[in-house]
């Protein structure tokens, strides 16, 4: 048994070292992203990275992956960045050993957004053009409106003036640190998609929210961002307006000033009365 463990100790590193060279089929290496790695793509990739990858690969550029053999590596490292997009896509999708396969978990577009996020750390990277071939990318257009009768956000998708049905439309409200997803629905035959909006969502003083909408048909993506009056106006109250215990000295509550000064002056009044009395003690007889 002991010998076996020793043998394992010697052999395992060799085995692992051999494994370090991860071969990707040539056809897979040449695969390219049909999506443009724009800011939105990078942002999506960052969120995904923090949910699925950071626990092993560590914070990107910090070179602090978990201590494994072979090392998971930092996505910003030379070793990662020297690979073609297709190789990275293949490795994320299929996995190997400690690296799980993400094909069942993530959409293709999501995997590409992860790669977009990694490439964001490489200044020399220029995204190779994707050959769409015969596929015709339709020019999508969107019109956003609000239907106050049913409290719904209405998105109309058209292409060359014609309403497009069966298009997936996703809508979200933009927040300070993220998005609040309103939904993901397909357009009807009139090219319309409806989203429920809660009138109690916090907006600005006029009830405006920034809505982000995204329509997709194949590789054709159309995004729109619009500030719309969707919710009840928010009344903002200044927390330090008025007199409070937690406010500045000049904004102390009146009752406190009165009670404090009254008590102090009463006691010191008596003290002063007694001191004056003591100085007159000589005359008392």
Cβ 153 to other proteins shortest distance, Å: 39
Q: For binding to other proteins (CB under 8 A), which residues are involved?
A: 245-249, 252-253, 256-257, 260, 264, 267-268, 270-271, 274-275, 277-279, 281-282, 284-285
| Closer to other proteins by Cβ: residue 25 or 277 | 277
Cβ 72 to other proteins shortest distance, Å: 25
| Closer to other proteins by Cβ: residue 126 or 278 | 278
Cβ 13 to other proteins shortest distance, Å: 35
| Closer to other proteins by Cβ: residue 180 or 260 | 260
| Closer to other proteins by Cβ: residue 180 or 273 | 273
Cβ 275 to other proteins shortest distance, Å: 8
| Closer to other proteins by Cβ: residue 2 or 248 | 248
Cβ 57 to other proteins shortest distance, Å: 22
DSSP string over the chain? -HHHHHHHHHHHHHHHHHHTS----HHHHT---SS---HHHHHHHHHHIIIIIHHHH-STTTT-----SS----TTSHHHHTS-HHHHHHHHHH-BTTBPP-TTTS-HHHHHHHHHHHHTT-TT--PPPP--TTPPPP-EEEEEEEETTTTEEEEEEEETTEE--S-EEEEEEE-SSSEEEEEEEE--TTSEEEEE--TTS---TT-EEEEEEEEEETTEEEEEEEEEE-SPPP----TTSS--TTS-GGG--HHHHHHHHHHHHHHHHHHHHHHHHHHTGGG--
| Closer to other proteins by Cβ: residue 123 or 248 | 248
| Closer to other proteins by Cβ: residue 17 or 263 | 263
Cβ 245 to other proteins shortest distance, Å: 5
Classify residue 213 by burial, with Cβ atoms within 10 Å: 0-12, 13-18, 19+. buried
Cβ 252 to other proteins shortest distance, Å: 5
- The whole-angstrom separation of Cα 128 and Cα 184 is 30
């Amino acid at each position: 048994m002991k010998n076996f463990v020793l043998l394992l100790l010697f052999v395992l590193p060799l085995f692992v070292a051999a494994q370090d060279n991860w071969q990707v089929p040539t056809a897979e290496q040449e695969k390219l992203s049909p999506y443009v790695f724009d800011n939105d793509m990078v942002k999506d990739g960052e969120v995904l990275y923090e949910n699925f990858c950071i626990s092993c690969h560590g914070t990107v550029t910090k070179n602090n992956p978990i201590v494994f053999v072979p090392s998971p590596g930092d996505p910003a490292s030379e070793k990662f960045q020297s690979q073609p997009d297709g190789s990275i896509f293949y490795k994320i999708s299929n996995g190997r050993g400690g690296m799980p396969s993400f094909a069942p978990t993530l959409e293709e577009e999501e995997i590409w957004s992860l790669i977009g996020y990694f490439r964001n750390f490489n200044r020399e990277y220029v995204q190779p053009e994707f050959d769409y071939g015969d596929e015709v990318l339709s020019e999508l257009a969107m019109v956003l409106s609000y239907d106050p009768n049913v409290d719904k956000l209405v998105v109309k998708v058209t292409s060359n003036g014609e309403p497009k049905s069966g298009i997936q439309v996703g809508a979200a409200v933009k927040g300070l640190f993220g998005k609040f997803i309103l939904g993901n629905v397909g357009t009807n035959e009139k090219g319309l998609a409806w989203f429920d909006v809660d009138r109690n969502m916090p907006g600005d003083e006029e009830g405006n929210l920034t809505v982000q909408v995204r329509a997709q048909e194949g590789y054709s993506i159309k995004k729109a961002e619009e500030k719309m009056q969707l919710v009840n106006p928010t009344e903002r109250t200044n927390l330090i307006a008025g007199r409070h215990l937690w406010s500045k000295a000049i904004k102390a509550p009146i009752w406190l000033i009165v009670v404090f000064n009254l008590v102090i002056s009463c006691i010191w009044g008596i003290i002063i009365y007694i001191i004056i009395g003591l100085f007159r003690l000589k005359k008392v007889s």
